[in-house]
């Protein structure tokens, strides 16, 4: 991009990188990579906070397991290049599982990624890079929607999921989420627990650590608008912001639904993303004033048909998960 963007009318000194889900995690990694320093000037992490990278020990363990699965050794590792991609993929899935939490991924080393991106603190490599980071209100409905239990979960399922996440604070976590979402069914409470533990809490931690550096600001958001598709069962799922940010709702009607509301949301979000890319601050005439995030006020832009700024939303949930 630095070498070529001027030929396309771009400015090599004003580059924004952004990604969603694993793409957001990759943005987090790039913010700590010495080789990427100076190549981008703003960063956006959508539903994919990356606090830590893979450890070298775990990476080596996975590599050895993959080779064994393929009947290879370190001595003939070059034969990997001769194997069909499908065979390698099948072996990798067998080693890590279909949804690995710590599978094949960038790992720490002495040169390319010498430290964890945002643990225990923000990286000096990107201290001068403004950051926008956020999540969707009900990320996990997208993953649960096709399971046989979606829509049929019970309070027992809620308790079990909460204990997995919060241990002896499970009851407090459930109460905090029920207070925030009083109309949620057990299925949507399970999804809420997964959402705050898998996406939201680490996004908040990353924003805290970025803000604590005292360099360029961090801006935090949450998408709260709910898609009407699937009779509203998805609420605000993982990836819903993508067609809104790119302002292409007409090719995503099966996800965002009919009517004017999706375009209103696209107008809110796309203009904020563009403003941030241009200036490093997501201030636009169509949104309320959006303060930078800090550990005291915790200003958060809530994207809805009527956008608003909340200070420390889900505060009790944050305190429980931080303990």
> What gap in Å lies between CA 184 and CA 150, rounded to an integer?
13
What is the 8-class DSSP label of residue 75? Answer: G
* Residue 139 a catalytic site member: yes
Element (H, E) at 191: helix 186-195
Question: What is the distance between the alpha carbons of residues 257 and 102, in angstroms, rounded to a whole number?
Answer: 34
- The three-class DSSP label of residue 20 is strand
Which residue in 20, 139, 208, 226 is the catalytic one?
A: 139
315 token code pair: 């505060």
21 classed as catalytic: yes
Catalytic residue (choose from 21, 185, 283, 316): 21
Parallel/antiparallel/unpaired status of strands 131-136 and 42-46: parallel
> Residue 301 and residue 288: Cα distance in Å, rounded?
8
Peptide bond into 120 cis (omega under 30): yes
- Catalogue the E-assigned strands of 10-168: 16-20, 42-46, 131-136
Q: Give, in degrees to the nearest 5, the angle at Cα 164 between 55 and 230.
A: 100
For 274, other C-beta atoms within 10 Å of its C-beta total: 15
CA-CA-CA-CA torsion sign (26, 28, 30, 32): negative
Question: Helix 201-212 to helix 315-322 angle, to the nearest 10 degrees?
Answer: 80
First and final CA of the chain: distance in angstroms?
42
Cα-based distances in Å from 49 to 24, 72, 104, 196: 6, 35, 17, 12
Nearest to 321 by CA among 198, 208, 186, 141: 198
Catalytic residue among 41, 116, 188, 238: 238
- In angstroms, rounded to a whole number, what is the distance separating the alpha carbons of residues 259 and 266? 13
Active site residues: 21, 139, 238
């Amino acid at each position: 991009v630095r070498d070529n963007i001027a030929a396309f009318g771009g400015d090599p000194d004003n580059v924004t990188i952004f990604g969603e889900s694993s793409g957001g995690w990759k943005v987090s990694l790039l913010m700590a990579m010495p080789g990427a320093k100076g190549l981008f000037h703003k960063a956006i992490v959508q539903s994919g906070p990356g606090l830590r990278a893979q450890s070298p020990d775990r990476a080596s363990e996975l590599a050895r397991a993959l080779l064994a699965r393929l009947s290879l050794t370190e001595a003939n590792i070059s034969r990997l290049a001769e194997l069909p991609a499908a065979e390698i993929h099948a072996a990798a899935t067998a080693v890590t599982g279909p949804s690995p939490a710590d599978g094949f991924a960038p790992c720490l080393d002495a040169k390319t990624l010498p430290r964890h991106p945002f643990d225990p603190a923000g990286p000096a490599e990107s201290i001068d890079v403004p950051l926008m980071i956020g999540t969707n209100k009900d990320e996990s409905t997208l993953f649960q929607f096709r399971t046989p239990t979606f829509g049929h979960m019970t309070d027992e399922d809620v308790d079990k999921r909460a204990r997995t996440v919060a241990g002896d604070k499970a009851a407090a976590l459930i109460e905090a989420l029920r207070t925030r979402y009083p109309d949620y069914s057990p299925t949507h409470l399970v999804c809420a627990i997964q959402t705050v533990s898998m996406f939201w809490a680490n996004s908040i931690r990353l924003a805290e650590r970025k803000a604590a550096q005292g360099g360029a600001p961090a801006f935090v958001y949450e998408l709260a608008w709910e898609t009407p598709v699937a009779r509203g069962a998805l609420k605000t799922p993982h990836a819903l912001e993508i067609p809104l940010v790119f302002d292409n709702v007409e090719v995503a009607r099966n996800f965002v639904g009919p009517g004017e509301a999706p375009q209103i949301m696209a107008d809110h979000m796309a203009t904020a993303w563009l403003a941030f890319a241009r200036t490093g601050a997501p201030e636009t005439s169509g949104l309320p004033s959006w303060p930078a995030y800090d550990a005291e006020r915790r200003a958060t832009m809530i994207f809805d048909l009527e956008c608003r700024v909340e200070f420390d939303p889900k505060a009790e949930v944050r305190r429980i998960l931080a303990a």
